[in-house]
Each structure stands twice: as C-alpha cells, then as structure tokens.
Amino acid sequence: MKILKVDHIGVAVKDSEAGIKFFSNLLGLKLEGQEVVAEQKVKTTFLPVGDTEVELLEATEADSPVAKFLEKRGEGVHHIAFSVDDLDAAIKELQENGIGLIDTKPRIGAGNKRIAFLHPKYTFGVLVELSEANK
C-alpha cells in the first residue's frame, strides 16, 4: 500500500458557520467549498491548507454518524483521511492483515472520490479514511 499524503482531517462541528468563523475568518484558511454528502447525512466544508485540508463535518440528520459522534464525544477531530494510490489493493492488504473495515468495498465520498473507512477499534481509536486520488 502506498500512502501519498494526509488528504484531510475531519472535524465534527455542531455548526459549520461557527467553524468557518474560526478556521477561515480567524486562522485565514481559504474556504474552498461546501458539499452535502447525502449518503453520509453530512454537510462538509473544505478548507485547504498546504497540500491537505481541514474538512468540517456537520450532521444533516439526527441519525447520521456525525450526529452520533457529537452526542457521544462532542465536537472535535472525527477522522484522518489518507490518500492512497490504489484503494482496492489497500483494502485487500488490510483485510489480509486482519484489520476491520467499515467499507469492504469502496464508496463514493465528498469530491466524488472513492473512499473506505477502517473501524476505529482496529486503528488505535482513530477513525481512518482511505481516499483514492482522482486519476
């Protein structure tokens, strides 16, 4: 498996606008765009920084993974996403090494990228997303 970079760091927020006030207006990160990922019931806000991004995550429905996270743990770092060169190969290698995946098949995430989440129980409590660089 080849990890290319940290693609983004997902931060769960109750209110995207409040998050933007801090990360963009105060810290000066560029507000690149927003996208609702209906399947994940989340509104994402992208704030590039260098070669990576901060991704704010706001729940759009009460039963979304982000809503559950906020309820249980409060606002904070929700996941770290790595870019990989070949997502199918990465999934296979992880499975062969006994790592539990939430997505054993890639799904489509924000930015139309192919993604897969690993279960935090297998990754030292850190929700890890693998994302395939758009070819």
Report CA 123 to chain centroid distance, whole Å.
Answer: 15
The residue count for the chain: 135
Residues 61-90 that bind ligand CMX (CB under 6 A): 65-66, 68-69, 72, 78-79
C-beta separation of 58 from 43 below 8 A: yes
Q: Does 113 bind ligand CMX (CB under 6 A)?
A: no
Q: 108: exposed, middle or buried (C-beta count within 10 Å: 0-12, 13-18, 19+)?
A: exposed
Nearer residue to ligand CMX within complex by CB, 28 or 73: 73
Positions touching ligand CMX (CB under 6 A) are 10, 37, 40, 42, 44, 57, 65-66, 68-69, 72, 78-79, 102, 109-110, 117, 119-120, 125, 127
